[in-house]
C-alpha cells in the first residue's frame, strides 16, 4: 500500500553508511539532503551521479525524494529569490539525474491573505520553479508547517502546475499549529506527492510565523525564552499527537500510495528510533 523510507541524514552518518543502514532496516527508499557537502549538486559530476545512482540501486533502494531546503525565509524575499531559484533548479537537475521525481523544501510562511505582497512573491517564485521542474519530470513539493493546509492549498492551486505538489509532514502541523493532520490530508488530497513520518507534541501555543521566522533569523532560543519555555517537542513515532491509524487511513482513502519517509531530527539514538518507527509503521499499515 505505502512505501517506507528514511531520511539518510537522520542517521547522522556519512551518506553511504546511512544508505547501508537504511537497507539493513528494510526500508524501500531514502531521502537525502542535497544542499551542501557530498550531495551538493556542484560536488557530483555526471560520472559521480551515475555511480551513486548505481550504488543505491545495488542496495535495493530507490530515492523517494531529495531535500532542497535552502533555509532562511524560503522564497518570501524577492531580492534573494533569483539566487535561490537558480540553486533550486540545480537540485531539480540532480534529482532527475539520480532518478527521483520529487524535491521537497520549505518555502517560508505563506500569508493567509493572498492580497499581502509576499503571497505574490511566493506565487511567482513557485510558478517558475514548478514549470522548470515539470519540464524535467520532477515535482517541487512544498513541506507543510508554517501555515494552515487551506492556505497552502490555495497557493498550490493558484500556481496550478503539475510541477508543484506537497510534502505532508503531519508532525509539523501538530507540533506548531495544533492542527489536525487528517483535515490536512483531506484539504491537500490530490497534491500530496511525498510525506514525512514524524511525531511530536505542542507544549505552548505558538504561530507558524513566530516559529519559522525565529528559525530563519537564528533567534529561536530567544523566542523560547520569551514564551516561558519549550514550545513543542519532536518525539519517537507513536508517542506524539499524530493519530497514526486514522491518519494513514485518510491518506489511503485519497489514493496516495507513495512514501512514508521517517525523519528523526532529535534524540540521542536516531538509529534505534528509526528502526522502531519502521516497525511501528509496518504494524499500523497491516491493520488497515
| Nearest Cα to Cα of residue 146 among 117, 177, 174, 171 | 177
Q: What is the pTM of this model?
A: 0.97
CA distance 83 to 80: 6
Q: Is 98 left (phi over 0), alpha (psi -120 to 50) or beta?
A: alpha
Average pLDDT over residues 66-93: 97
Residue 69 pLDDT: 97
Candidates 3.40.50.1100, 3.40.50.10240, 2.70.170.10, 3.20.20.150; CATH matching 3-286: 3.20.20.150
Concatenating the DSSP letter of every residue in 214-267 gives HHHHT-HHHHHHHTTS--EEEE-TTSSS--HHHHHHHHHHTT--SEEEE---S-
What DSSP state is assigned to residue 76?
Answer: -
Q: Which of 129-143, 204-218, 227-241 has the lowest mean pLDDT?
A: 204-218
Give the pLDDT confidence of 4-15 residue by residue, as tens digits.
999 999 999 999
In the chain, domain spans: 3-286
Pick 121 or 211 by higher pLDDT: 121
pLDDT band at 256 (very low <50, low <70, confident <90, very high): very high
Contact in structure between 195 and 142 (CB atoms under 8 Å): no
The tally of CA atoms less than 13 A away on the side-chain side of residue 41 is 16
Rounded CA-CA distance 171/82 in Å is: 31
Averaged over 247-261, what is the pLDDT? 98
Q: How far from each other are the two terminal CA atoms of the chain, in whole angstroms?
A: 10
What pLDDT, on the 0 to 100 scale, is given for residue 189?
98
Alpha-carbon gap, residue 243 to 224, rounded angstroms: 26
- Say whether pLDDT at 78 is over 90: yes
What pLDDT shows up at residue 206?
A: 87
pLDDT of 223 > 90? The answer is no
Section 251-268 average pLDDT: 96
Tell the burial category of 37 from Cβ atoms under 10 Å away from its Cβ (0-12, 13-18, 19+).
exposed
- Hey, is 142 helix, strand or coil? strand
pLDDT at 13: 97
Residue percentage of the chain with pLDDT more than 90: 93
Amino acid at each position: 500500500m505505502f512505501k517506507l523510507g528514511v531520511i539518510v541524514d537522520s542517521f547522522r552518518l556519512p551518506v553511504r553508511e546511512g544508505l547501508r543502514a537504511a537497507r539493513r532496516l528494510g526500508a524501500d527508499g531514502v531521502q537525502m539532503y542535497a544542499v551542501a557537502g557530498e550531495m551538493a549538486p556542484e560536488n557530483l559530476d555526471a560520472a559521480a551521479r551515475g555511480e551513486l545512482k548505481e550504488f543505491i540501486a545495488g542496495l535495493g533502494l530507490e530515492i523517494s525524494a531529495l531535500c532542497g531546503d535552502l533555509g532562511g525565509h524560503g522564497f518570501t524575499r524577492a531580492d534573494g529569490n533569483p539566487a535561490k531559484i537558480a540553486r533550486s533548479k540545480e537540485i531539480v537537475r540532480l534529482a532527475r539525474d539520480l532518478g527521483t521525481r520529487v524535491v521537497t523544501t520549505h518555502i517560508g510562511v505563506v500569508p493567509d491573505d493572498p492580497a499581502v505582497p509576499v503571497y505574490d512573491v511566493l506565487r511567482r517564485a513557485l510558478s517558475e520553479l514548478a514549470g522548470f521542474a515539470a519540464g524535467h519530470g520532477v515535482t517541487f513539493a512544498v513541506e507543510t508547517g508554517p501555515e494552515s493546509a487551506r492556505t497552502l492549498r490555495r497557493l498550490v492551486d493558484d500556481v496550478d502546475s503539475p510541477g508543484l505538489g506537497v510534502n505532508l509532514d503531519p508532525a509539523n502541523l501538530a507540533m506548531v499549529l495544533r492542527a489536525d493532520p487528517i483535515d490536512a490530508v483531506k484539504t491537500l488530497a490530490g497534491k500530496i506527492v511525498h510525506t514525512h513520518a514524524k511525531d511530536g507534541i505542542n507544549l505552548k501555543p505558538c504561530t507558524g510565523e513566530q516559529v519559522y521566522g525565529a528559525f530563519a533569523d537564528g533567534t529561536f532560543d530567544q523566542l523560547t525564552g520569551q514564551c516561558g519555555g519549550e514550545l513543542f517537542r519532536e518525539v519517537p513515532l507513536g508517542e506524539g499527537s499524530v493519530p497514526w491509524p486514522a491518519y494513514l487511513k485518510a491518506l489511503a482513502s485519497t489514493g496516495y500510495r507513495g512514501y512514508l519517509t521517517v525523519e528523526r531530527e532529535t534524540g540521542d539514538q536516531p538509529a534505534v528510533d528509526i528502526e522502531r518507527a519502521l516497525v511501528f509503521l509496518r504494524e499500523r499499515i497491516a491493520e488497515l
